[in-house]
């Protein structure tokens, strides 16, 4: 992917002494190529997995269903069907589409979730919470500041990271992009949104917007930091449309041309189609950049057409023996967000394939049939193969 000259230095040091004694003229380019190709016996190819889930929602029915009295809330079971996947991933990312603004807790259209919801997500294995979305300012400046303070606390307690919003310009600069070191691979996370439902009165505290000047600076910082994988996570597109809009594709091509290696979108609340963009980097080298336009909902109380199905995206990042990224392979797992009393007592998200052919487990068989029909329909509309 990106040219990392320093990665071949150990090989050059190993090969040069032997080549120095070779007879005849030495071709510098050939010498360098032999050094690059000389992979030590003790170094193997390896793969890391970065997993993504889409819109994590908390509607009023979810809040009411999780209440256990005395101000306590229990969300256990929501993601029991995918907790192993999130926990096993080298890095797990979720779009948190609500504030943590404190009581009173409210659902649509102005979200404020109990802190226990984010704590539960951390316990499920989510490593990065995305906050750049249209609902992050639902409770105004005060609500955003409390949200950020809560995520800072969760970072201390659980080790999770948050990106997409910031208290001030300095904290934004330090966290945009968010840089993560995963098994020796530096990953840059760039999260931004088309806008917010509540209009901010000033820039900070605030969220990252789809400002190409600012995004360009973040992409440049990612490159200069030595990131081997740069992931753009835009909050974009038209709600409830299963095909991406031309504006999404145009922005995706710009992101890919300017250094993004992977693009994963959210916001439409339905799964959208995918693409593999072919771009050329500054050195004239061709690159292929996967684009997943929308993962759909991870969990919600929605039941409209196509809103209960979503994607768990497992991206397998292959590295060569020098640790440089050699391939990015998306794997798609369809999820179903079931409402209370239909599969289990409460809201839960399960893998569709885990329940295909198992209608007997459903308390309300019509939802089983809805799941199967939606699954087949979305696959036909988007062309996604799982």
Mean pLDDT by 10 residues, the chain (386 residues): 36 41 49 53 75 98 98 97 98 98 98 98 98 98 98 96 97 96 96 96 96 98 97 98 98 97 98 96 86 98 98 96 89 98 98 98 97 98 97
The whole-number pLDDT of residue 13 equals: 39
Could you give the CA distance from residue 47 to residue 110 in angstroms, rounded to a whole number?
41
Residue 22's pLDDT is what? Answer: 45
User: Would you give the distance in Å from CA 372 to the centre of its chain?
Assistant: 26
Distance in Å from the first CA to the final CA of the chain: 26
Global pTM? 0.89
Q: Where are the beta strands (DSSP E) in 18-166?
A: 46-56, 67-69, 72-73, 91-96, 128-130, 161-163, 165-166
**Token duo for residue 267:** 């916001």
The Cα angle at residue 136 between residues 52 and 300, in degrees rounded to 5: 55
Burial zone of 223 (CB within 10 Å; 0-12 exposed, 13-18 middle, 19+ buried): middle
Please enumerate in sequence order all residues whose Cβ is within 8 A of that of 250, keeping only pairs 6 or more positions apart, or say none: none
Dig out the tokens for 253 from the structure. 């091509």
The pLDDT value recorded for residue 283 is: 77
Closest among 314, 264, 328, 330 to 2, alpha carbons compared = 328
Place of tokens 């979810």: 62
pLDDT of 362: 97
Domains and CATH numbers, the chain: 5-37 (no CATH), 47-382 (3.60.21.10)
CA–CA gap between residue 306 and residue 288 (Å, rounded): 29
């Amino acid at each position: 992917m990106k040219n990392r000259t320093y990665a071949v230095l150990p090989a050059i040091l190993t090969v040069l002494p032997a080549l120095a004694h070779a007879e005849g003229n030495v071709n510098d380019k050939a010498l360098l190529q032999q050094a690059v190709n000389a992979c030590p016996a003790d170094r193997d190819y390896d793969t890391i997995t970065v997993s993504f889930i889409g819109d994590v929602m908390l509607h009023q029915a979810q809040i009411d269903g999780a209440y256990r009295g005395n101000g306590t809330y229990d969300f256990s079971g929501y993601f029991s069907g995918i907790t192993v996947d999130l926990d096993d991933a080298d890095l797990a990312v979720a779009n948190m589409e609500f504030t943590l603004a404190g009581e009173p807790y409210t659902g649509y259209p102005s979200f404020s979730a109990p802190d226990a919801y984010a704590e539960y997500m951390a316990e499920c294995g989510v490593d990065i919470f995305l906050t750049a979305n249209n609902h992050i300012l639902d409770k105004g400046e005060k609500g955003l500041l409390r949200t950020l303070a809560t995520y800072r606390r969760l970072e201390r307690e659980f080790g999770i990271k948050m990106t997409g919003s910031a208290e001030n310009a300095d904290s934004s600069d330090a966290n945009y992009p968010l840089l993560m070191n995963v098994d020796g691979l530096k990953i840059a996370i760039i999260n931004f949104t088309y806008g917010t439902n509540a209009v901010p009165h000033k820039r900070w505290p605030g969220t990252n917007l789809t400002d190409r000047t600012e995004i360009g600076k973040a992409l440049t910082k990612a490159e200069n930091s030595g990131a081997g994988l740069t992931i753009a996570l835009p909050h974009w597109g038209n709600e409830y449309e299963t095909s991406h809009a031309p504006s999404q594709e145009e922005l995706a091509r710009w992101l890919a041309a300017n250094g993004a290696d992977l693009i994963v979108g959210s916001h439409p609340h339905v799964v959208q189609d995918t693409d593999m963009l072919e771009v050329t980097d500054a050195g004239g080298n061709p690159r292929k950049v996967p684009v997943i336009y929308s993962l759909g909902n991870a969990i919600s109380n929605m039941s409209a057409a196509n809103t209960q199905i979503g994607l768990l995206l497992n991206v397998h990042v292959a590295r060569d023996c020098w640790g440089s990224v050699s391939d990015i392979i998306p794997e798609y797992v369809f999820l179903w967000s079931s409402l209370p009393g239909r599969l289990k007592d409460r809201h839960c998200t399960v893998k569709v394939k885990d329940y295909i052919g198992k209608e007997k487990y459903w308390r309300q068989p019509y939802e089983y049939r809805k799941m199967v029909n939606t699954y087949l329909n979305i696959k036909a509309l988007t062309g996604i193969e799982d």
